[in-house]
A and B are shown apart, each in its own frame.
Chain A
Amino acid sequence: MSMTAGTGERTHAPRPRRPRGELPYIGLAIPGRLTFRVWQRNRDVFFQLWRAELLPPLLEPLVTLLGLGLGLGAFVQLGGDIEYVQFLAPGILVAFPMFVATFEALYGAYFRMTQHGTYDAIAATPVRPEEIVAGEIAWAASRMTLNTALIALVLLVLTPWLDLVGSPLIIFTIPIAFVTGVLIGSIGIAFTSRARSVSQLSYFFSLFILPMFWFSGGFFPIDELPGWAGTVAWFFPLTHAVDLSRALVTGDVYAGLIVNMLWLILAAIPAFWLGLAAMKQRIVK
């Protein structure tokens, strides 16, 4: 290039050759550094609205923990010397934050994609569509992680009275929440990319998220369910997150947890790819 500079003969830079007849590239680019810019944008908006964004999702699990745990718990007999509220705590630690990631990937993403034109605005900059989607998924996972961390703090505060947390291993529920958030957020984004109206989003919620919320072993043990229900539950990401959370909160760790961990990670990878591909298609049109 230095050869041509200054000679004034060339009007154009050397061009990369495109093979004849080759179709424009429609594959996926690997999200790069600018993913973080999208994440930052969401973070900035979040801190502007944090009172509305943070408090309700924290009060909900607390009310549920005390209402179900102490209220209903008075009538529940579990095997062993464990109180129902103690059984409930590890489930609540991951199940409610899952809602936050879901809402971010469904409604948050939908409004940014359609009404607000946020994706279009970003797509006009050097940020690639893949980076927009990756940033969105990372943000959904971050919100889940943040809420798990905050609920863990609340559980720790309540521990002197209710004996909820039995092990410092609870700290590891934070990375578990992130992986689960990537998985749920990716599936959510993929679904959102196909949605033609807001009301369609509630299908995802009613048919997938809500059954998963109840039947993942967070509110009652699923070993007692009929065999087929157990099989279905095994395919719920949250089931594995709850198993891990329960072990880490109680300190009752066993080798089988590796399977749960691998399940989440191995599911998150294709889900992430699916989310990127599906939403990119919608952004590029």
Chain B
Amino acid sequence: MRKGSTEGVQAAGTADGSPGTTTQGSSRTATPREQAPLIIEARGLVKRYGDFTAVAGIDFEVPRGEFFGLLGPNGAGKSSTIRMVSGVLPISGGELYVGGYDVHYQDREVKRLLGIVPQDDNLDQDLTVRRNLEVYARYYDIPKKVAAERIEEALELMQLEDWGGAQIDNLSGGMKRRLVIARALINDPDLLILDEPTTGLDPQARHLVWRKLRLLRERGVTILLTTHYMDEAEILCDRLIIMDRGQNIAEGNPRDLITRHVGREVLEVHPLPEERAAVLRDLEENVGESGRIETVEDVIYALGVTEEHHRRVEGLIADPYRVNFRRANLEDVFLSLTGRGLVE
């Protein structure tokens, strides 16, 4: 009790007697926050680590309210980009504005606008669920009363309202993820940044997280997402860029990207070793200029093909389950652009 009261004094003292939100609010009108329609603006953004260039001068813009994806194989520069946008990694070159603020000079202003969901759950193991959020709210100087309301709201939104008193160790992987998202919402962020938010979750937990993210988007939160799951990006993102070796190699909304880079349909063939040569020969002869043939290990992908090609290949393969004629998806775009081989 005594502890609590001294904290209250501290919080009130910092806000000069007036509630912290008012001070923040007035500084908002005096700052570009509401005026900047672009939440992220990157021009020629570069990150170097010694001789190694992780991000080689990329440009991208994210308008307010968009669900924006950042895809790419490991080592493409996604994490460096996301960490620069978060204001935790100094940029090596170019320009980067978040909410109209220069991340380089106005790191604190930038961070006040952001909610960060990192790859690893870095929750405070020693504190309970609710205490985690309370301690986090203090880093933003959110007055206790406001924080208490937001905490209940965030817990409810993430379906954790019955777990406020629980220890972190007792939460499942999916609950920890949701708690990290709840934590990122404590400062009512303009931009929510999620770094591979569903990695390691079971399918049910993934779907729940997706639902929550869509809900947040409907509420007007701008979201920046990185992921390795193409279905996730396809389902969630309004627009995305694909990065490879530090470059921005494709940009657009998922459907356009698919049509533009792989066409409507894909023929995926898993031939037996003795069938492989015949299938490849047939496809090479019949898939014209408009299509493309790619192989990954023992799988053959034919892009820009028609039902006709499908029927021809089916005649060459004994087991019909080894031929799959399907709608093209984002994974085909991704593999087609970043190479179907393993990137190490």
| Interfacial residues, chain A to chain B (CB-CB below 8 A) | 1, 4-5, 10-13, 15-16, 18, 24-26, 33-34, 36-37, 40-41, 44-45, 47-49, 116-118, 120-128, 284-285
Contact = CB atoms under 8 A, between A and B. Distances in A.
A126 B124 contact: no
Given A37-B138, A37-B141, A44-B131, 5 more contacts: A1-B30, A13-B100, A41-B124, A49-B126, A124-B111
8 contacts: A10-B35, A13-B101, A16-B102, A25-B90, A37-B139, A117-B120, A125-B136, A284-B90
Contacts of A13: 31-32, 35-36, 100-101
Contact of A40 (B86, B124, B135): B135
Contact of B125 (A41, A116, A127): A116
Interface of B: 3, 7, 10, 14, 29-32, 35-38, 41, 86, 88-92, 97, 100-102, 104-108, 111-112, 114, 116, 118, 120-127, 131, 135-136, 138-141, 187
A40 B134 CA distance: 11
Nearest to A121: B122
Contacts of B101: 13
Main SS of the interface on chain A?
Answer: loop
B322 to A, nearest CB: 45
- Among B88, B120, B135, B139, find the residue whose CB has the most chain A CB atoms closer than 10 A: B139
Given A33-B14, A44-B131, A124 B116 contact: yes
Contact of A12 (B7, B100, B112): B100
A284 B89 contact: yes
B307 to A, nearest CB: 48
Nearest to B90: A24
A263 B230 CA distance: 61
A125 B139 contact: yes
Contacts of B86: 124
A143 to B, nearest CB: 15
Nearest to B136: A125
B122 A128 contact: no
B109 to A, nearest CB: 8
Contact of B139 (A34, A116, A117): A34
B241 to A, nearest CB: 21
Contacts of A15: 97, 102
A44 B90 CA distance: 31
B90 A18 contact: no
A24 B88 contact: no
A116 B135 CA distance: 15
A120 B38 contact: no
B126 A45 contact: yes
B108 A128 contact: yes
Contacts of B140: 125-126
Nearest to A29: B107
B105 A18 contact: yes
A41 B122 CA distance: 14
Given A5-B35, A12-B36, A284 B88 contact: yes
